[in-house]
Amino acid sequence: RKEVEQDPGPFNVPEGATVAFNCTYSNSASQSFFWYRQDCRKEPKLLMSVYSSGNEDGRFTAQLNRASQYISLLIRDSKLSDSATYLCVVNMHNFNKFYFGSGTKLNVKP
């Protein structure tokens, strides 16, 4: 079983739609959680951290559910520019080692 699992997609949605991704992790002792965005043939870039209380940044909302060991990302009012792969990232075993999911691909269509 992978440490971090994501639905690979692709999620094909029209502009303006709301879309949600989930990510499950295996280690209940994980402490830090992030969502990264990766454009085709580019490096991953930090989108947002995920806090226990949840957090929101504009159209993006991230939630953490420790009991069920998953994190989620909600994108409202999707834009064409949101088309990318979204990577779930969790730290495991110690604070300095981060484990990435294989990513969920989002295609926003006109």
Partner 1 sequence: NAGVTQTPKFQVLKTGQSMTLQCAQDMNHEYMSWYRQDPGMGLRLIHYSVGAGITDQGEVPNGYNVSRSTTEDFPLRLLSAAPSQTSVYFCASSYSGGADGYTFGSGTRLTVV
Give yes or no for residue 8 binding partner 1 (CB under 8 A): yes
Residue 103's closest CA among 54, 40, 38?
Answer: 38
Give yes or no for residue 29 binding partner 1 (CB under 8 A): no
Give yes or no for residue 102 binding partner 1 (CB under 8 A): yes
Give yes or no for residue 34 binding partner 1 (CB under 8 A): yes
* Closer residue to partner 1, CB minimum distance, 78 or 103: 103
CA–CA separation, 69 and 87 (whole Å) = 16
Burial of 68 (0-12, 13-18, 19+ CB in 10 A): exposed
Q: Tell me which residues touch partner 1 (CB under 8 A).
A: 4, 8, 31-32, 34, 36, 42-46, 49, 87, 89, 91, 95-103
